[in-house]
C-alpha cells in the first residue's frame, strides 16, 4: 500500500492502470488529488484467503498521512474546514472500462453533511453529495439495484416538474437522502454512518468486484487472465458539483476518430464524475470553455500537452474542476480508429515525440484494409435495420439484387447494386464482381462470400442471421420488413451494419500518411509479400499496394465468366476425346489471354499459377435448378442434370478435385499449362519480362507430384522450363515433405485447406459451432482466421525444415487467407520466404512483416 509519492517506479501490474497513471501524473507535476493505492497483490490475497493480515492497520496509517496532506479529517468537519471525503476506485492492470465499481463522497454521514454544508456554504451541494454516496454505496456494497435509487430520484423530479437533478432544491435532496436511508434500513442493509466502516466495506466490495459476472465475461472475451486482481485507489475527493465554476470532463489529447492534433472532449458544468458518462445531462464540447472560461481552457491544453510529452502517446484523461481549479483524476492511452492510429503515429514521429520505429509498431496492421474504404457516416445515418459479420471493409449503397442476371441488368443501366443471397457459391461470381456490396444471411468470416468479397475488395456483410432471402421470388425479409429487388440498401463491411436507403458515406483516410508509415516500415521487412490475384485488375491493384508478385492465381475463376461457362460445361459433358479437345481448345484461348493480362500487370515479378482446384460439379448449376429446367424439356439441362448427379459428392472438400482431377483428366492440366507458357512466350516476343510459375493443389503423396512433374516436363521441353511447385495443404504432404521437396522448386502452404484438414472441420460448416467454441474458450481464437501456431504451425515448421534439408534450394511461401492476417504473418516472418495476401491485405502483410522485424 502506497501514497502516490511513495509509489514511483512501481509496476502497472501492482498499481493497476489507474493507480499507475495517477503516480506518473503526480510525478510529472500535474495537479492530482492525494491518494493511496492498495495493490493488486492485496486483492489477490483477499480473494484467496478472505482477509489480508494487517491491511486495516496500514489503511489507517496511510489515511492519517492523507489527512495530513490535505489538512482535513476523514469524515469529520471542524469549523470552517469540511470533512475529508474520499473516492474508492477500482483499477485493474489492464483497462476494463466500467466493468468494476467506484464509490464517491465516501466518509459522509448525516452529521458530516451538516458540517460540509456549513463549511462550503452550499447545502445543496452537501445533500447532493450525500444522496450520491447513499445510492452508490447502496448498490456497490449493500447490493441494492441501481434502478431502485434512480426510481426514487425520477419520482421526485416528476413531482417537482423538473428535468435535471441540478434543479432540485437542497430540501429535496435532503428528503431524498432520508428516503434512501430508510429504504436501506427497511431492506435490512442499513447504511453505516461510521466513515471507517464505510471505507472497509467499500474496499472489500472493490476487491470482490473483480469477480462480478460482468467483469468475468469481459475478461473471457478479451482474453485477460483471471488472476490479475484489481488495485484499489482511495483518493481525496475534489468537487465538480460546487456550482457553475465547477464541473467534470473527459479529454483526448488528439481527436480519437480522425487523429487530428488538438484538444478534444466533453465537459459538464456543475456535475460529479459519473454524470458525463451516464448520459443524464448532455455535456458540451470542451471547446465551449474557450468562450466562457478561456484561462481554464488554456490550462487544460497545457496539461494535455504535458500528458503527451510524459506518456508519449495520445491520452484519454478524466478531470474535475473545483471552483476554477483543475484536477486530474485519470489518464490512459486513448482508444482510436485505424485512421486516427495512422495519423497519430506519423505525426508524433514527425514531431519528434516518438521514433519512426515506434510509429510503425503503434499501428494495428489488421486494421489497414479498412482505411482505404469509405465508411457509413454514423452521425448522419439512420438506425441500421440489420447486423451481420463485418466480412470485407468499406461501405456501399446500391439496389438490392438477388441474382447474377439482375446484377447485370442494373449495372448495364449504370446503377449500383448490392447482391443479396442466402449464401454465395462460385456461381454467383458475376453478381459479386459487378456489385458494390454483398450481403448474405449465412456464413462466417471465411465463408465463400467473405473470402471472395475481400479478394475483390467489395464491401460485404455476411451471416446476417435475421435476414431471410428467397432469391427465386426476388425478395428478402428482415423481421416484418420486406425487401424487393431494386430497393436501395447501404451496408458497412467494417461494422457489419445494414441500412435501408442510400446513407451518406464518409471519405477514406488520407493515403499519404499511410504510405509514409509504410515507407518507414519497409527497411525492417525481410519476408516477401505477394498477392492472391486472379485478374489483371486485381494484379494492378495489388502491385499499387506494393505486392512483389502473385503467390496464388486461381485459375477456376477464369472458368466462371459468362461467355466461358458453356465451354466449361461442354468439357464436363464430353463423351469422346474429340469433344473434350474441342472444348479445351476454346478454353485455351480464353486462359491464354487471362494469363497474358496478369503476367503483363506483374511484369518482371513472379506469378504463381495454381492449376484447376475445385471439383467439376461446382461449374454446374445446382441440382434443383437443373431438375426444374430438365423437367421443362430443356435437352442440354437434361444432359447436365444426369452428369451433375453422377458427379455429385457427399463431401466435395475431400473429393475429386485438385491434383486428383488434374491427373485423371490430364487434358485440363496440359491445356492450362500450355496457355500459361504460350502467354509468356508471346509476351516475351512483345518485349515484356513475364515470370510465370506453376503449382499443383491438394497433393498427398510424392507419386502424385512425380506424375504431375512428368506431364509438365513434356511441355517444358517445348517451351523451356519454369519453376514448378506444389501446394502443401494436406497434413500428409506436410509429413512427407522430405520426399516431395526434391521433386519441386517451391512449396506453397495452402493454409485454408491445411487448417480444415488438420482440425477436421470444414469452414463452410464451421459457422454453426466455431463462434461458440471461441466464446466458450475451447479455442483461443478462430483458426480459420488466424493461423493456429500450435498444430498447423507445427506442420508448417516440420515441412519447411525437412523440405529444405532434402532440397536446399527449395523456396517456401504461404497463400491462404492467413497470409494477410497480422499475427499469422508475424508467425511465419522468420520461417518462410514470402506470404501472399488478397490485394487489400497486402498492406497489412507488409506492415505486419516489418513489425515482426523490429
CA distance 443 to 447: 5
By CB under 6 A, name the one of 330, 411, 824, 844 that touches ligand ADP: 330
Tell whether residue 548 is a contact of ligand ADP (CB under 6 A): no
* 89/617 with CB nearer ligand ADP: 89
* 249/692 with CB nearer Mg ion: 249
Q: DSSP class of residue 496?
A: T
Tell whether residue 89 is a contact of ligand ADP (CB under 6 A): yes
Given 43, 399, 557, 815, which residue is catalytic?
815
Tell whether residue 323 is a contact of ligand ADP (CB under 6 A): no
Closest residue to ligand ADP, Cβ-based?
A: 273
Given 399, 448, 557, 617, which residue is catalytic?
448
Provide, rounded to whole angstroms, the least separation between the CB of residue 207 and ligand ADP. Answer: 15
CA 557 to chain centroid, in Å, comes to 29
DSSP 280-347: SSPPEEGGGHHHH-HHHHHHHHHHHHHHHHHHSS-EEEEEEEETTEEEEEEEEEPP--HHHHHHHHHH
By CB under 6 A, name the one of 25, 52, 62, 87 that touches ligand ADP: 87
For residues 21 and 332, is the Cβ–Cβ distance under 8 A?
yes
Tell whether residue 342 is a contact of ligand ADP (CB under 6 A): no
> CA 44, 47, 49, 54 torsion: positive or negative?
positive
Count interface residues toward ligand ADP (CB under 6 A): 17
Tell whether residue 238 is a contact of ligand ADP (CB under 6 A): yes
Tell whether residue 273 is a contact of ligand ADP (CB under 6 A): yes
Tell whether residue 320 is a contact of ligand ADP (CB under 6 A): yes
* 271/503 with CB nearer ligand ADP: 271
Provide, rounded to whole angstroms, the least separation between the CB of residue 475 and Mg ion. Answer: 35
* 444/697 with CB nearer Mg ion: 697
Burial bucket for residue 471 (CB in 10 Å: 0-12, 13-18, 19+): middle
Burial bucket for residue 747 (CB in 10 Å: 0-12, 13-18, 19+): buried
Residue 43 is among the residues annotated as catalytic for this protein? no
By CB under 6 A, name the one of 48, 61, 68, 98 that touches ligand ADP: 98
Provide, rounded to whole angstroms, the least separation between the CB of residue 273 and Mg ion. Answer: 8
CA distance 518 to 838: 18
From 230-238, 291-299, 427-435, 609-617, give the range in contact with ligand ADP by CB under 6 A: 230-238
Q: Please, where are the H alpha helices in 634-769?
A: 635-647, 659-664, 666-685, 702-719, 731-735, 737-740, 751-759
By a kind-dependent CB cut-off of 5 to 8 A, residue 756 interacts, out of Mg ion, ligand ADP, none, with none
Tell whether residue 324 is a contact of ligand ADP (CB under 6 A): no
CA distance 791 to 757: 11
Tell whether residue 329 is a contact of ligand ADP (CB under 6 A): yes
Tell whether residue 199 is a contact of ligand ADP (CB under 6 A): no
Binding site for Mg ion (CB under 5 A): 318, 330, 729, 750, 753
Record the cell numbers describing residue 171, joined without a space: 430540501
From 191-199, 229-237, 596-604, 646-654, give the range in contact with ligand ADP by CB under 6 A: 229-237
Task: Give backbone dihedrals phi and psi of 337, rounded to 5 degrees, phi first.
Answer: -75, 165
* Residues 6+ positions from 97 with CB-CB distance below 8 Å: none
Provide, rounded to whole angstroms, the least separation between the CB of residue 233 and ligand ADP. Answer: 7
CA distance 113 to 107: 10
CA distance 608 to 602: 11
By CB under 6 A, name the one of 274, 408, 682, 789 that touches ligand ADP: 274
Q: CB 619: neighbour CB atoms within 10 A?
A: 21
From 96-104, 297-305, 473-481, 812-820, give the range in contact with ligand ADP by CB under 6 A: 96-104
By CB under 6 A, name the one of 4, 22, 184, 237 that touches ligand ADP: 237
**Helix%, strand%, coil% for the chain, nearest 5:** 50, 20, 30
Task: Measure CA of the first residue to CA of the last residue in the chain; give whole Å.
Answer: 37
Residues with catalytic roles: 448, 815
Rule CB under 6 A: which residues touch ligand ADP? 33, 87, 89, 98, 102, 104, 235-238, 248, 273-274, 318, 320, 329-330
Amino acid at each position: 500500500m502506497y501514497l502516490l509519492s511513495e509509489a514511483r517506479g512501481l509496476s502497472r501490474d501492482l498499481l493497476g492502470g489507474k493507480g499507475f497513471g495517477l503516480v506518473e501524473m503526480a510525478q510529472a507535476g500535474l495537479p492530482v488529488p492525494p491518494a493511496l493505492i492498495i495493490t493488486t497483490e492485496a486483492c489477490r490475497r483477499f480473494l484467496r484467503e478472505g482477509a489480508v493480515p494487517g491491511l486495516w492497520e496500514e489503511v489507517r496509517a496511510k489515511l492519517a498521512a492523507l489527512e495530513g496532506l490535505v489538512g482535513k479529517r476523514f469524515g469529520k468537519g471542524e469549523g470552517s474546514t469540511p470533512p475529508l471525503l474520499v473516492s474508492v476506485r477500482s483499477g485493474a492492470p489492464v483497462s476494463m472500462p466500467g466493468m468494476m465499481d467506484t464509490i464517491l463522497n465516501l466518509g459522509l454521514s448525516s452529521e458530516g453533511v451538516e458540517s460540509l454544508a456549513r463549511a462550503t456554504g452550499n447545502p445543496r451541494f452537501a445533500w447532493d453529495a450525500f444522496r450520491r454516496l447513499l445510492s452508490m454505496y447502496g448498490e456497490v456494497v449493500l447490493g441494492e439495484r441501481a434502478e431502485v435509487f434512480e426510481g426514487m430520484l425520477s419520482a421526485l423530479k416528476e413531482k417537482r416538474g423538473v428535468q435535471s437533478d441540478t434543479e432540485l432544491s437542497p430540501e429535496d435532496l435532503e428528503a431524498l437522502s432520508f428516503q434512501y436511508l430508510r429504504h436501506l434500513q427497511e431492506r435490512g442493509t442499513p447504511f453505516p454512518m461510521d466513515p471507517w466502516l464505510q471505507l472497509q466495506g467499500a474496499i472489500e466490495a472493490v476487491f470482490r468486484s473483480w469477480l462480478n459476472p460482468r467483469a468475468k465475461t469481459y475478461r473471457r472475451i478479451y482474453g485477460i487472465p483471471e488472476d490479475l486482481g484489481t488495485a484499489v485507489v482511495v483518493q481525496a475527493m475534489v468537487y465538480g458539483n460546487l456550482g457553475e465554476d465547477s464541473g467534470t470532463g473527459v479529454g483526448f489529447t488528439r481527436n480519437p476518430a480522425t487523429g487530428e492534433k488538438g484538444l478534444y472532449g466533453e465537459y459538464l458544468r456543475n456535475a460529479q464524475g459519473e454524470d458525463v458518462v451516464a448520459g443524464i445531462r448532455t455535456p458540451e464540447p470542451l471547446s465551449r470553455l474557450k468562450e466562457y472560461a478561456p484561462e481554464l481552457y488554456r490550462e487544460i491544453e497545457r496539461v494535455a500537452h504535458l500528458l503527451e510529452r510524459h506518456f508519449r502517446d495520445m491520452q484519454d484523461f478524466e478531470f474535475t474542476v473545483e471552483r476554477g481549479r483543475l484536477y486530474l483524476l485519470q489518464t490512459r492511452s486513448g482508444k482510436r480508429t485505424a485512421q486516427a492510429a495512422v495519423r497519430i503515429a506519423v505525426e508524433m514521429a514527425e514531431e519528434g515525440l516518438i521514433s519512426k520505429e515506434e510509429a510503425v509498431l503503434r499501428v494495428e496492421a489488421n486494421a489497414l484494409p479498412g482505411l482505404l474504404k469509405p465508411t457509413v457516416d454514423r452521425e448522419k445515418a439512420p438506425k441500421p435495420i440489420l447486423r451481420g459479420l463485418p466480412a470485407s471493409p468499406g461501405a456501399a449503397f446500391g439496389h438490392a439484387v438477388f441474382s447474377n442476371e439482375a446484377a447485370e441488368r442494373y449495372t448495364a443501366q449504370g446503377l449500383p447494386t448490392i447482391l443479396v443471397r442466402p449464401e454465395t457459391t462460385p456461381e454467383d461470381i458475376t453478381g459479386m464482381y459487378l456489385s458494390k456490396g454483398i450481403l448474405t444471411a449465412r456464413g462466417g468470416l471465411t465463408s465463400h462470400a467473405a473470402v471472395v468479397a475481400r479478394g475483390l475488395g467489395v464491401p460485404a456483410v455476411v451471416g446476417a442471421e435475421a435476414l431471410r432471402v428467397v432469391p427465386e421470388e426476388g425478395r428478402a425479409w428482415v423481421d416484418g420488413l420486406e425487401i424487393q429487388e431494386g430497393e436501395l440498401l447501404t451496408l458497412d463491411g467494417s461494422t457489419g451494419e445494414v441500412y435501408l436507403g442510400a446513407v451518406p458515406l464518409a471519405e477514406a483516410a488520407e493515403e499519404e500518411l499511410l504510405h509514409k508509415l509504410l515507407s518507414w516500415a519497409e527497411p525492417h521487412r525481410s519476408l516477401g509479400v505477394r498477392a492472391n490475384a486472379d485478374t489483371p485488375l486485381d494484379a494492378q491493384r495489388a502491385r499499387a499496394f506494393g505486392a512483389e508478385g502473385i503467390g496464388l492465381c486461381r485459375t477456376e475463376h477464369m472458368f466462371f465468366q459468362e461467355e466461358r461457362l458453356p465451354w466449361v460445361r461442354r468439357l464436363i459433358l464430353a463423351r469422346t476425346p474429340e469433344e473434350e479437345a474441342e472444348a479445351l481448345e476454346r478454353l485455351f484461348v480464353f486462359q491464354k489471354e487471362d494469363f497474358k493480362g496478369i503476367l503483363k500487370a506483374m511484369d518482371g515479378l513472379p506469378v504463381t499459377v495454381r492449376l484447376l482446384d475445385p471439383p467439376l460439379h461446382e461449374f454446374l448449376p445446382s441440382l434443383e435448378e437443373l431438375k426444374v429446367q430438365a423437367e421443362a424439356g430443356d435437352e442440354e439441362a437434361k444432359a447436365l442434370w444426369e452428369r451433375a448427379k453422377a458427379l455429385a459428392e457427399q463431401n466435395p472438400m475431400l473429393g475429386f478435385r485438385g491434383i486428383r482431377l488434374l491427373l485423371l483428366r490430364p487434358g485440363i492440366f496440359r491445356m492450362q499449362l500450355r496457355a500459361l507458357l504460350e502467354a509468356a512466350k508471346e509476351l516475351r516476343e512483345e518485349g515484356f519480362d513475364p515470370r510465370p510459375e506453376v503449382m499443383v493443389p491438394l497433393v498427398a503423396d510424392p507419386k502424385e507430384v512425380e506424375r504431375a512433374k512428368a506431364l509438365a516436363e513434356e511441355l517444358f521441353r517445348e517451351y523451356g522450363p519454369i519453376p514448378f511447385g506444389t501446394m502443401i495443404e494436406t497434413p500428409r504432404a506436410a509429413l512427407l515433405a522430405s520426399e516431395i521437396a526434391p521433386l519441386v522448386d517451391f512449396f506453397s502452404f495452402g493454409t485454408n485447406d491445411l487448417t480444415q484438414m488438420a482440425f477436421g472441420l470444414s469452414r463452410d460448416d464451421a459457422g454453426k459451432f466455431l463462434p461458440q467454441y471461441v466464446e466458450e474458450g475451447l479455442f483461443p481464437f478462430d483458426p480459420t482466421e488466424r493461423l493456429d501456431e500450435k498444430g498447423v504451425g507445427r506442420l508448417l515448421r516440420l515441412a519447411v525444415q525437412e523440405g529444405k534439408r532434402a532440397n536446399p534450394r527449395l523456396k517456401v511461401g504461404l497463400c491462404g487467407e492467413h497470409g494477410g492476417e497480422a499475427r499469422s504473418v508475424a508467425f511465419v516472418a522468420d520461417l518462410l520466404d514470402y506470404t501472399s495476401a488478397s490485394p487489400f491485405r497486402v498492406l497489412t502483410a507488409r506492415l505486419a512483416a516489418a513489425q515482426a522485424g523490429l
